[in-house]
Amino acid sequence: MIGQANSIERRSGVALWRQIADQILHSIAVGDFPENAALPPEIALAGRYGVNRHTVRSAIAALVQEGVLRAEQGRGTFVLSRKRLSYPIGARTRFSEGLQGQASERHITLLASSIEPANRRVAEGLGLATGADVIRLETRGEADGMPVSRAAGWFDARRFAGIDAAMAETGSITASLARFGIDDYLRQSTVLSARHADAADLADLELQPGAIVLVTVAVNVTPDGQPIQFSESRFPAERIELKLSAL
């Protein structure tokens, strides 16, 4: 939306075809290449980016592989539709409710759970002593079969013993907390950043190398301000945008 940026950096450590693929993705996101329409011909793109046609072809091949484009010999290359879901973050941030209306099917899978000593960051978030036992739940959120989040949540092991089993059974943080008498909880703080997906993200979220994840670090508290959950969540930026609401 700001300045258009059809320039390419050579010997930057990022191959030209990868940079061009990213630019095409950006152009699609911004609406310069509308969905379901044909891309400019390869020759034209090569001219626009100042590279050889074969280099453009490499970029297109990667995006075809990623499911963003479809190439048809003799006809052209077309933009497939890929809407980003909008995930609301506010005082009452709940996974399933948040995506209601945007995806017909949505659920959380418990990937792993463990008991571990709290590191400094987790301990501060939960108001515990560093080294105190905490339960860690690793979860993945999916919407219509597509992974849209990967989260680690930490809970005081003394107060929430067995929350891992509850989570496995109910598939819901909210329902699991209810078993411990938590009928309501609020989001106290959220810190947001972004970075490249690491190898674990790539695998769990089914992303391609170079993908970007949004990272939120949050603390949930009871209505009277007692911290109950510290969490770090990652959202693939190509599938999710975060909509901040009253919190």
Partner DNA sequence: TCATTTTGTCTATTGATATAGACAACTATA
Partner DNA sequence: TATAGTTGTCTATATCAATAGACAAAATGA
Name the residues that contact a second copy, by CB under 8 A: 1-9, 12-15, 17-19, 21-23, 25-26, 29, 62, 84, 86, 89, 121, 138, 150, 152, 189-196, 198-202, 208-210, 212-214, 232, 234, 237, 241-247
Instruction: Name which of DNA, a second copy, none residue 52 binds, using a CB cut-off of 5 to 8 Å depending on partner kind.
Output: DNA
Contact between 148 and DNA by CB under 7 A: the answer reads no
Instruction: Name which of a second copy, DNA, none residue 43 binds, using a CB cut-off of 5 to 8 Å depending on partner kind.
Output: DNA
- Nearer to DNA by Cβ, of 79 and 89: the residue is 79
CB of 170 to a second copy, least distance (A): 22
Contact between 80 and DNA by CB under 7 A: the answer reads no
**Single-letter amino acid, residue 92:** R
DSSP symbols for 21-53: HHHHHHHHHHTSS-TTSBPPPHHHHHHHHTS-H
Give the dihedral sign, CA 163/164/170/172.
Answer: positive
* 69 vs 73: CA distance, rounded Å: 13
Instruction: Name which of DNA, a second copy, none residue 165 binds, using a CB cut-off of 5 to 8 Å depending on partner kind.
Output: none
Instruction: Name which of a second copy, DNA, none residue 172 binds, using a CB cut-off of 5 to 8 Å depending on partner kind.
Output: none
Q: Residue 118 burial (CB < 10 Å; 0-12/13-18/19+)?
A: buried
Q: Which of residues 56-75 bind DNA (CB under 7 A)?
A: 57-58, 60, 71-75
- Nearer to DNA by Cβ, of 41 and 162: the residue is 41
Contact between 12 and DNA by CB under 7 A: the answer reads yes
Q: Closest Cα to residue 104, out of 82, 85, 81, 90?
A: 85
* 214 vs 202: CA distance, rounded Å: 13
Instruction: Name which of DNA, a second copy, none residue 202 binds, using a CB cut-off of 5 to 8 Å depending on partner kind.
Output: a second copy
The position carrying tokens 């090569």 is 46
- Nearer to DNA by Cβ, of 15 and 200: the residue is 15
Q: Closest Cα to residue 29, out of 56, 12, 5?
A: 5
Q: What is the dihedral of CA 87, 18, 196, 148, to 10 degrees?
A: 30
